[in-house]
Structure 1
């Protein structure tokens, strides 16, 4: 399992500081939605410049204007871009097409999608499906995982986000997620390096 660090709601300078502290333990840098909304493509460009060898995900949550947004974010330096599963299938197909053009990855965020839509999204077998507990909900990750995996358990590439803590990492591993996305449990901890190191050990990396 890979560890993705979500960095959000800070300045670009602070984001870079946080990433530097966690860098040796993380596999993917996530530039969060609010960070991109606050600072635009500059956030992606500067973090790409600072971390040229890291995989970068830009959490742009595209829901329309797919070609324009995905083209722009890949050109800025992102390796993975996100589209909302609630978007139309046509929009998601455009995201898929642009990702293939740039030889990049794309992630479909299942935030608030219905079981029926989740089944439809299984056609995008070259993408990543992300089971995502909304930030505005404080509990319910395990129930969400169970209900969502009932539809998509056999999908080849799965990620999970929202409310991940050291004490529930064992459940994430059992579910065979490819990527565990962790934010404030690392970024707001007393020691970012120690927290990142702990999560890396729990996902199966080196301590």
Structure 2
């Protein structure tokens, strides 16, 4: 299981500092949608330049112009881009085409997807590499990703699963039985006073 650090509300320099603190314990750095909206591709480029061996996901949440928008992120140094699972198949195909050109990967965010099992299978058939069960920030108080994770795991297998949404060292143990390929943690690391310690605790739990 790989630990993905989600960076959403910091600037580029703060992002670089956080990565410096936790790089020993994380496998993937996510430049989140709010950061991209605020700073464009600068944080993707800077993090990829300073950490060339680290996988970087640009959380674009692509809904249209799949190849064109994915190209922007891959050209800036991203190794993974995200698309919305509810978007058109043509958009998915475009993002996948871009990823193949760049030797990159595509993650589909399943927010608002109703027919999870069926759509997950379709997305994999379209060439998507990871299916992400994501409890959105605005509904984390009332919804949990774990039931959805079980459905997606049954549909496409653990090696294609990712999970995000309010995970921290207190809740991450609930993920272990599903063994998803990617566990995404944001505030559970970035919001902690000792970020390195928080990342290590979570990574230790994932490694058993």
**Could you state the TM-score of these two structures normalised by the residue count of structure 2?**
0.91
Contact 1:118 1:152 in 2 (8 A): no
Contact 1:107 1:128 in 2 (8 A): yes
Are 1:128 and 2:139 counterparts?
no
Are 1:197 and 2:200 counterparts?
yes
Deviates more, 1:3-12 or 1:167-176: 167-176
CA spacing shift, 1:10–1:75, aligned 2, 3 Å? same
Secondary structure class of the residue paired with 1:166: coil
Aligned to 1:32: 32
Contact 2:168 2:189 in 1 (8 A): no
Are 1:145 and 2:146 counterparts?
yes
Aligned to 1:175: 178
Contact 2:57 2:79 in 1 (8 A): yes
RMSD value, Cα: 1.7
For structure 2, which runs of at least 5 residues remain unmatched after alignment? none
Contact 1:31 1:57 in 2 (8 A): yes
CA spacing shift, 1:148–1:3, aligned 2, 3 Å? closer
Superposed CA deviations along residues 36-69 of structure 1, whole A, max 9, x for unmatched, are 1111111211111111111111101110011111
Secondary structure class of the residue paired with 1:153: helix
Cα separation, 2, equivalents of 1:128 and 1:70: 15
Q: How does 1:100-139 map to 2 (within 5 A)?
A: 100-115=100-115, 117-124=119-126, 126-139=128-141
Contact 2:133 2:148 in 1 (8 A): no
| CA positional deviation for 1:101 | 1.6
Aligned to 1:187: 190
Aligned to 2:71: 71
| CA positional deviation for 1:71 | 0.8
Deviates more, 1:145-154 or 1:29-38: 145-154
Aligned to 2:41: 41
| CA positional deviation for 1:182 | 0.2
| CA positional deviation for 1:165 | 1.8
Aligned to 2:95: 95
Cα separation, 1, equivalents of 2:153 and 2:21: 35
Q: How does 1:40-59 map to 2 (within 5 A)?
A: 40-59=40-59
| CA positional deviation for 1:16 | 0.7
Cα separation, 1, equivalents of 2:97 and 2:141: 35
Are 1:16 and 2:16 counterparts?
yes
